[in-house]
Structures are given as structure tokens and as C-alpha cells.
Amino acid sequence: MWLTLIALLVGFSIPSFGFASSTVIFVDPPFITGLLPGDAFAVDIYITGAVNVHAWEVKLGYAPYMNLLSVTDIIEGPFLMGGGPTDFEKFNDPFFGYAHFGATGLPPHGGVGGGGILASVVFMVLEAGECEFTLYETKLLNIDQAKLDHSTEDGYYLGLTADLVPPDWPTERPIGGGHAQREWKELFKQRWGTAYEMPAEVVNTGYAPLWCRASFTSVNEITGETVVLYTGQNYLPTETYRTEVLYVNEYDPFFEEWALFGSSPYLDAPDDGSYTEGYYDGTLSDWFGFEDVTLGPVDTITNVKLEGYCRADSSDVDIDVYTWGPVPFAWLGSLYGANPTTFTWVSPRWIGTDVSDEVPLTLTEAGLNDLGVVLYYYAPWEDPPGSEGPATVDCLKLIVTIRTGGVVPPEGDWWLVEPGETLALPPATWYLEKQNTGKWYTTIAMEYRYYDPYTVPSILYAEGDTTFTYEWWCVGEGL
């Protein structure tokens, strides 16, 4: 039936001639605002001044990629049905953002004049943003299949919006050179070996809180190298790695089921006469915490390895390690003894050596610094109790691998901006190196969204209307 309708409207239409028509197809209401994501609304495709309309066809364009609105239904209106039975067909393309629909009269339909609703399109709001409702490729036919002249009037959806505030530096390079030219170049000159901060300021132009961030896309004039950074990110082009070893430096007598020898914190160094020892299955040691780590702005923890300086009969006893923060009782595997009389450095068996596999929070500075552990004597087969011998731990340490370089954090932070508020966002910081020398063009753009990105992950966001592009130079010392 859809093909039949298209044939009627396109394939066999006869052009009409004469004076301009007063027939108008328009979006009603022409302007919609005040809605939030999750709300539904409808727009009517209305016709007025019609004369002897027997068939019609409309395409309605809206925001593409389902990043703002979603069409949930297209309903034929009563206008054409006033002349008799009709055939109504509809199609929606959410990727390219258009709805295609139309109707034709069926015998004994005799055509309709005047005004009324051709169809209603029902939308659901998905995210913040704005878009036009564009009418195009509209067609009207009379009973003789001749095209009817008409005009169209589009509509507009204005949802929640935000935009960049113009920066307080010149947006165009002064003309004429001389002193003004030198001042411009000096303003945008950055030296490698320094931290180049890229700021942005956002204003919430909508009527509800929005989460906002700025993007900074920099392109090298000669090489075409492109660097994209977001609000709050730090970037060092060269990646290196370092290792820090964190020993026990905290102790809390929480369970008191293992014996303690020496002095607190007991497990802070090997072969110092301070240690803890368990004897019976099912018993827990006290709580032990580790030295803190301090990360730089371009530091990322990539691996956290636990090692224990232990002795026990490894064939009979496991020294299970459980967390006591940042999450309770996550199993980190089992330490063991190479033999019951000699201490040996060992990593947990059964589960792997990277603590972050079990506790991802330890890849953060706060999560790793909150890590504490208790030890559990595991020998359920021993008979009588205590017959398997002691499990002794003389020292615990974390071997932390830290990457310096790359983009940190890997995702740009979002910032909550209240309606009408203007907020200076934390800058993106580029730690320039000699390899970055040259002329760059940086474009600043604004991204914003309604839903909290930290609790409702989504790729959906809108972009501000305004962007700023400027040139700057990365130079060496003394240039």
C-alpha cells in the first residue's frame, strides 16, 4: 500500500499551474519547550486553506541518532478521513532523524478542503538539547492526481541547553603587525617543559540542572597530529612506569585470634622479630593497613601485587587474605609457606597476583590507601586442632606499578551547572614536551547532558551552539 501511495504522489502526478496557493502545511504548535527527559509530547502536522485534497505526503525532520528525541507513534489525523476512507502509511528513521508518512483517499473518496490535522507525531524526550522540526518533500494531490501548490512552516523544539561563554582573550589576531601582533603571539606562546592549562566557562541557558564539560581538540599545523582533551584531564605524551613498595604501617587489634610477637605494627619489615602467628583452622588475625601512595596529576595505578614473608607447611595450611576496606571480605587469594621453618616471600596462590582484579578501587589513590587486610588460618582437615602447625607471617607489602603519562583520568569529568549559572570549569592540562613543538589550532566545544553521567552511563549528550578556534605555539626555552 505504501508503494501505491508513493506511485500516486510521485509517479503519476500532473503539475498544476496558476496563481500561488494560500494552502499551508505547518507544525502545530510551532514552538515547544519546558520538557524534561522522559516526558512525552505530540506535534500535529496541520493543513489550512486546502482545496480538493485527495492525497498527501510529508517528511518531518528532527534530531538524528536518537540523541535527543525518539518517535514513539505516528497517528493519522481526521482531515483526509472527512472525505471518505483512506490508506495511511508511515515510516520512521531514528538514525537519520526523519519520519515519512502520508495518506490517500480510497473510492468513493471525493477530496477534502479547508483545514485540519493531517497526522500527529508523538515524541519522547531522551536527553537535553534542541532541534528544528523541518517539513520537506511535502506533496498534495487533488482527485485528478494533479499537484496542489502549497507552502510549509517548520517548528522548533527547545529543550535544556548550555553553551560556552566567550573567552576573555581576543578571538581574532590583530591586523597590521607591530606591537599588537607581538602581544597576540606572546599571549598564545607556550613552552615545552611547562603545563599548558586550557580553561573554559559554561553557562546553563536552560531550566533544569545540566552536567557539562568542555572538549579541546588540538591539531598540529604541519604533522596533522590531533590531541583531544576534556575538562579536568591531564595529559603527558610520553608514558613511563615506576614501582612503589608499600609496607604495613597500621595495626588494629580487632579479632585477636592470632598470636603477636614483637611490637606494633608487627608486619612492617622482614626479620625484625615482629610477626603474627595462627594455629587453628577458622581463626582470624588482627587488621593491618599499608603505607599511603601519593599520585601525581598524570599518574595511573596499573597493578597492585600483594606479597607476604611467610613460613608454614604449604601442603597443609593456607593463609587466606581478606580485605577489610575499601570493600569488606574480598578474598585476595592464599599466602603460604615454602617450608615450616624458613621465611620466604610469596604471592597469593589460587586467585592471581593483582589485587585490583578483585578490588578495582585499589586502582585509585583513595581506594588503595584505604586497603586493609586480615589473615585467615585455613586447614579444615587438621585433626586434632592445631596439629598442622603454625602459619607465620613476618611482613606484608604491596608492590604498586604506576604509569606516568597518557591521559588521566581516562574519562573527562562532568560538572553540574544549575539553571542560569555560569561556571568556570577546571582546565584540561597538557604537560608539553619537546616533541610537541610547533603551531597548533585548538577548538573548544561544549558538551552537556541531563542525566548524571556517573550513575546513568550513556553516550548521549548535546553540543553547544558556540565553538572557539584559536592558534597557539609550543616553543623551546628562550624563543
May I ask the CATH class of domain 164-233+410-475? mainly beta
Comparing C-alpha atoms, which of 157, 125, 165 is closest to residue 421? 165
> What's residue 178's pLDDT?
56
What are the CA-CA distances from residue 295 to residues 273, 369, 401 (Å)? 32, 11, 11
**CA-to-CA distance for 323 and 373, rounded, in angstroms?**
4
pLDDT in tens, 172-224: 565 555 556 666 667 789 999 999 999 999 999 999 999 999 999 999 999 99
Per-residue three-class SS string for 283-311: CECCEEEECCCCCCCCEEEEEEEEEEEEE
Nearest 5°: the CA angle 405, 219, 66 is: 90
Comparing C-alpha atoms, which of 128, 130, 135, 124 is closest to residue 157? 130
Predicted confidence band of residue 365 (pLDDT cuts 50, 70, 90): very high
Return the C-alpha cell found at 282. 577458622
- Region(s) of the chain under CATH 2.60.40.680: 2-159
Burial class (CB in 10 A: 0-12, 13-18, 19+), 317: buried
Buried b (16+ CB within 10 A) or exposed e, 24-56: ebbbeeeebeebebeeeebbbbbbbebbbbbbb
**CA-to-CA distance for 226 and 235, rounded, in angstroms?**
13
pLDDT in tens, 144-183: 999 999 999 999 999 999 999 998 876 556 555 555 666 6
| 367 contacts 209 by C-beta, under 8 angstroms | no
Higher pLDDT, 439 or 316: 439
pLDDT in tens, 422-442: 999 999 999 999 999 999 999
pLDDT in tens, 66-117: 999 999 999 999 999 999 999 999 999 999 999 999 999 999 998 999 999 9
Comparing C-alpha atoms, which of 470, 479, 423, 456 is closest to residue 171? 470
CATH, range 2-159: 2.60.40.680
In the chain, DSSP finds a helix count (H) and a strand count (E) of 4, 31
Strand segments, DSSP code E, in 205-317 are: 210-220, 226-230, 234-252, 259-261, 275-278, 287-290, 299-311
- Region(s) of the chain under CATH 2.60.40.10: 164-233+410-475
Domain 239-406 coded CATH 2.60.120.260: yes
**CA-to-CA distance for 44 and 55, rounded, in angstroms?**
17
- Region(s) of the chain under CATH 2.60.120.260: 239-406
